[in-house]
Amino acid sequence: MVSTAAPAASILAIEQEIHNQACTNCFAGNARTASFEDVVKPVIKWLNENSNPHASVIIDSTSAELVTGEIGIHTEEFLKD
């Protein structure tokens, strides 16, 4: 009888390595993160002082938009594998 413990352990080690790489935040603690935080904190403050809990701000390279959600639903029912 051939033992399957070693291959199973190898698979678990590979899965853990993949998980560790996927969860690594490459921006954590660097200058880019600090700069981003410096820019968005005033927006978050403004949003909390001037809007309601249902509002969000969408910012792209040419515009900023204040949006308020009236109704929403989240589903993953139709996602393909």
Instruction: Write out the chain's pLDDT in tens, 81 residues.
Output: 555 555 667 777 776 676 665 555 666 668 888 899 999 999 999 999 999 988 999 999 999 999 998 888 999 999 997
In a domain, residue 54? The reply is: yes
From residue 67, alpha-carbon distances to 43, 44, 63, 73 in Å are 13, 14, 13, 16
Task: Flag whether 38 is in a domain.
Answer: yes
Question: Is residue 55, in this structure, part of any structural domain at all?
Answer: yes
Residue 3 lies in a domain: no
The residues, ordered by sequence, that sit 6+ positions from 54 with a Cβ below 8 Å of its Cβ are 68, 69, 70
Is 0.85 topped by the overall pTM? no
Q: Is residue 9 part of a domain?
A: no
**Domain contains 4:** no
Residue closest to 4 by CA, chosen among 14, 16, 19, 12: 12
Domain count, the chain: 1
Asked whether 51 and 66 are in contact (CB, 8 A), the reply is yes
Domain-located, residue 73:
no
Instruction: Give the range of the structural domain holding residue 60, as residue numbers without chain letter.
Output: 14-68
Name the residue with tokens 């880019």. Answer: 32
